[in-house]
Structure 1
Amino acid sequence: MATPSAQRARRRVAATVTTALSLTLVFTGCSTQSSSSTAAPSNAAVDADTCARNKAVGTITYISGYGYSASAGQMDVFLAQELGYFDELCLDVEINASGANGQQLVAAGQAQFTALGSASDVMLAAANSKNLTAIATYGTTPPFSIFGNEKLQSLKDLEGGSLGYFINLTPIASAMLDNAGVDASKVEMVKMTNYDPTVVVRDQVDAIVGYASNQPQALRAADQPFVEFLPDEFDVQGTYNVMEVNSKFLSEHREVAADFMRASLRALGECLEQSDMCIDKLAALAEANNQGAAFPREQLARTWEVESAWVRDSTGGAPGVQTAAMWEPEYALVQKYGDVKSLPAIADMMDEDLVADLYQGDALVWPAK
């Protein structure tokens, strides 16, 4: 692996400018530095005071709990680093893609940012942690589906059969079963130990609660026969991917957190417009860091084709902008199916303004010195 200085040099060479996002607007971030601060580097997109402020926080650590997945809130962080956008804002960002528990590390202050699969994941964790704040939600499509052996005609056919799940049976899946009239007590629940989707084809379990952009897409690519049930077929609403930040860091360094999101969202815009470029870079990163077999390019492309549509189709507005209203349907599901004793109010778990304030209309504001 290249040294940090070599990586930064490579990123500076690779830095590009996107016409759609290069708005000649003056950056108005607050500064605590004096006007005599050392001049910002020549590649910086911010003035000297803002650059000094961002550098002063030191290394910002982002945890990718899903490795090199082609998902919003993850791929864009990798690309913001590769394209030099963090450098342009004088941010020193370190990415941990080893699959660590991002929520635990961020809550403990050992990292600053991480992304989760849905608002319900945030809510379930919030019942046990008080030091996490959601700052971006990337879509209003639940990322989960129930896929299974082709013999299934409906979810009711799971009664007397088996349903696999990862980590926990999500409130989204529980609501799907309930709305389909399934008696869950008649379904054998099996905690899966790997992500191999072919177990449903081989009839080892009848169905699995999985990610609609991943395991089912792999079965389709292999031309395997299976059935899939999506949340909207059962009038179940939810969210797609959420960025979280350490609450104490957000309180003490709000403008810096905003610039981290500014750079990431600029990269997200690039990936929505130039998916092949982003997938190529992400696949190369995975390969360079010995995760190429787990994240081959063809899989990344399949995943992003689905998930980029979730970002575009979001009813929340510009990418990453979130509101309490977006979370309300899922909040009700977590209250009903999440098995939590005390669920914080939505307003206590999220910051609605941080990302919204980065936009003018639907255009992300990129600073100009």
Structure 2
Amino acid sequence: MSGEELVTKVKRQSYRAMCASGGPILSALAALWLAGCSPQADAQASADPGVPEGVLISTEACERNSAVGTIVYVSGYGYSASAGQLDVFLAKEMGYFDALCLDVEINAGGANGQQLVSSGQAQFTALGSASDVILAAANSSNLTAVATYGTTSPFSIFAHEDVTSLKELEGRKLGYFINITPIAKAMLDSAGVDVSKVELIRMTNYDPTVVTRGQVDAIVGYASNQPERLRAMGLPFNEFRPADYDLQGTYNVMEVNTQFLNENREVVADFMRATLKALHHCLDDEADCVERISVLAEENNQGSAFPADQQARTWAVEAGWVRATGKAPGVQSIADWEAEHAMVAQYGDLRTLPAIEDMMDPDLVASLYVDGELQWPGE
């Protein structure tokens, strides 16, 4: 860290601390700094390059947000350019958390995000679909979904060019990662596939060319990643998506520790407000966000896993999924999950299935918008 960066960091920490302390003992200088906690001071704070990005909320709100201490977000997919992840990294990078007096720490290597959040060791994490949330909720009652970013399933089955229908997978090899998702099982069932005749192989290699080279005949993958890599390489393959079988899914879900939500609802709302502010920026300027997240990945030794060209392809697809909902980003409803909930009930191998309303808060993110516009202090 350079000397200038260190000075800025110290100023930022002092600034937040003074916003949190308040009281009559503040010196005149501290009172001037404290004025930056109000929306009216934003222009002044921004105009002075020696002052960190201005705090935009009231002293009371700043104290409330600071009082919870460090908020830990776990990215189970590293620096991937995906909603519910990209926006958290960018909210921190662009100072949106600081503007709301939130001290956010990001764990970018935590594949066990659900366990960490459920146990209270972290507060937020993102999952790939409502199915993931439902399956996790069967083993934990301390997770609440506060945002769903799309109503398009992110999963697809991509296959060797010789496989022209899913039915043709009988007698062939189908790869999967971690588990065969309920929506993939529903696809196979809808196509009339006898799964007992398919050789299922758990994959550890994320190289999609294992399909085009015939090492496996097909893979249950993430539609914005591996198939897009094959397209970029100009390799022939066939892809089957849930929509081909009139199956509706969900794309990416933000979860929070339920106890933390119950005790700090306004803080959770401000965390989501900051991330959604970043998400709107990433929808408006895809190139800027891809560049920012790719630089962060490189700086944190994940550049080889998340090269800029791959990030650009991924976000181009996933940004489309966010826009396709027809409503404000992140806003969710019980109806959005009903189709997938039914699929998990049929294909998820669970003895009991939690009700959707027991896993989701449909009101928190919706309350951050007025007439489809995200409410941001000072705007």
What TM-score comes out, normalization by structure 2 length? 0.88
Which residue of 1 is the match for residue 365 of structure 2?
355
Where does 1:24-173 land on structure 2 (aligned, <5 Å)?
39=34, 41=36, 42=45, 43-173=54-184
Which residue of 2 is the match for residue 25 of structure 1?
none
**Selected match of 1:284 from 290, 295, 312:** 295
Identity of aligned residues (%): 65
Which residue of 2 is the match for residue 341 of structure 1?
351
Contact between 1:321 and 1:352, CA under 8 Å: does it hold in 2?
yes
Deviations 1:284-306 (A, max 9, x none): 00000000000000000000000
Indicate how the Cα distance of structure 1 residues 138 and 217 shifts in structure 2: closer, same or farther if over 3 A, else same: same
- Taking the aligned partners of 1:6 and 1:74, their CA distance within structure 2 comes to 27
- Taking the aligned partners of 1:10 and 1:138, their CA distance within structure 2 comes to 35
**Selected match of 2:216 from 205, 209, 217:** 205
Q: Is 1:331 equivalent to 2:326 in the alignment?
A: no
Q: Is 1:366 equivalent to 2:366 in the alignment?
A: no
Tell me how far 1:161 sits from its aligned partner.
0.4
Indicate how the Cα distance of structure 1 residues 33 and 178 shifts in structure 2: closer, same or farther if over 3 A, else same: farther
Deviations 1:69-120 (A, max 9, x none): 0000000000001110000000000001014310000000000000000000
SS at match of 2:71: strand
Which structure's CA Rg is the greater one? 2
Equivalent residue letter for 1:121 = D
SS at match of 1:368: coil
Contact between 1:8 and 1:87, CA under 8 Å: does it hold in 2?
no
Equivalent residue letter for 1:97 = A
Tell me how far 1:194 sits from its aligned partner.
2.0
Tell me how far 1:162 sits from its aligned partner.
1.0
Deviations 1:170-194 (A, max 9, x none): 0010000001111111101111112
**Which segments of 5 or more consecutive residues in structure 2 lack a partner in the other structure?**
13-19, 37-44, 46-53
Which residue of 2 is the match for residue 16 of structure 1?
none
**Which segments of 5 or more consecutive residues in structure 1 lack a partner in the other structure?**
13-31
Indicate how the Cα distance of structure 1 residues 35 and 322 shifts in structure 2: closer, same or farther if over 3 A, else same: farther
Which residue of 2 is the match for residue 19 of structure 1?
none
Q: CA RMSD in A?
A: 2.2
Indicate how the Cα distance of structure 1 residues 226 and 111 shifts in structure 2: closer, same or farther if over 3 A, else same: same
Q: Is 1:215 equivalent to 2:226 in the alignment?
A: yes
- Taking the aligned partners of 2:21 and 2:295, their CA distance within structure 1 comes to 39
- The structure where helix makes up a greater share of residues is 2
Equivalent residue letter for 2:167 = K
Q: Which structure exhibits the higher relative contact order, with contacts defined as CA atoms closer than 8 Å and separated by 6 or more residues?
A: 1
Contact between 1:40 and 1:51, CA under 8 Å: does it hold in 2?
no
Tell me how far 1:361 sits from its aligned partner.
1.3
| Count of aligned pairs | 348
SS at match of 2:253: strand
